[in-house]
Amino acid sequence: MDKLPGPVGVPQVLTVGELARRSGVAVSTLHFYEAKGLIRSERSVGNQRRYARAALRRVSFIRVAQRVGISLADIAAALASLPATAAPGREDWARLSAAWRSELDERIAQLKKLRDTLDDCIGCGCLSIDRCRLRNPGDKLAEEGAGPRRLLVKPSVVGAHPVRDKPTRR
């Protein structure tokens, strides 16, 4: 029953090469993702990876999430809530969606703010981002020393994106 390499129509199980071609990521990346626990595979008799079609979905998800600035670690955490073994059911996706909803909303708000800030500051002619609608009264920013407060929407719950946060002394 084990579908072997040769591409025959629409296979129910994918080789790593097929998954790579169809998802648009390199084979090495798939190996990497698997090592990181982001995707899973069965093995054929000859020890080759065999992916369920659901893997394609997972990889798409990973790439898109990454593209908007979410780290693999966060993605892995989210995906961990899906059953790796079987095709995820409705409530599995529901759980994931709920968990990410606020994070995504927050990032959207952040982006809009950045975009609109540029526009506004041009429109009003004040020539300055930290003055105008973004400037806090009295210029008393220095109080807590914790980043661009006016542009940042909030510190983020999931907070593990590529941007190194606060100079953490380990």
Rounded alpha-carbon distances, angstroms, from residue 119 to 61, 112, 122, 131: 32, 10, 5, 14
**Residue in 47, 142, 157, 170 binding a second copy, rule: CB under 8 A:** 142
32 interacts with a second copy by CB under 8 A: no
**Residue in 12, 24, 28, 94 binding DNA, rule: CB under 7 A:** 28
For residues 149 and 136, what is the distance between their CA atoms, to the nearest angstrom?
9
- Please tell me the count of residues contacting a second copy according to CB under 8 A: 69
* Nearer to DNA among residue 71 and residue 156 (C-beta): 71
Burial class (CB in 10 A: 0-12, 13-18, 19+), 29: middle
Contacts of 4 (CB under 8 A, 6+ apart): 44
Rounded least distance, CB 23 to a second copy, Å = 7
Binding mask 96-135 for a second copy (x = CB under 8 A): xx--xx--xx-xx-xxxxxx--xx-xx--x-xxxx-----
114 interacts with DNA by CB under 7 A: no
Looking at the chain, how many residues does it have?
A: 170
For residues 3 and 19, what is the distance between their CA atoms, to the nearest angstrom?
14
For residues 168 and 170, what is the distance between their CA atoms, to the nearest angstrom?
6
- Would you list the DSSP string of 39-55? S--EE-TTS-EEEETHH
Binding mask 40-79 for a second copy (x = CB under 8 A): --------------x-xx-xxx-xxxxxxx----------
Rounded least distance, CB 91 to DNA, Å = 27
Question: Per DSSP, what are the bridge partners of residue 13?
Answer: 52
Question: Per DSSP, what are the bridge partners of residue 42?
Answer: 50
Which residues bind to DNA, rule: CB under 7 A?
A: 4-6, 15-18, 20, 25-29, 31-32, 41, 45-49, 66, 71-73, 162-164, 167-170
Which residues bind to a second copy, rule: CB under 8 A?
A: 10, 18, 20-26, 28-29, 54, 56-57, 59-61, 63-69, 87-90, 93-94, 96-97, 100-101, 104-105, 107-108, 110-115, 118-119, 121-122, 125, 127-130, 139, 141-142, 145-148, 150-152, 161-164, 166-167
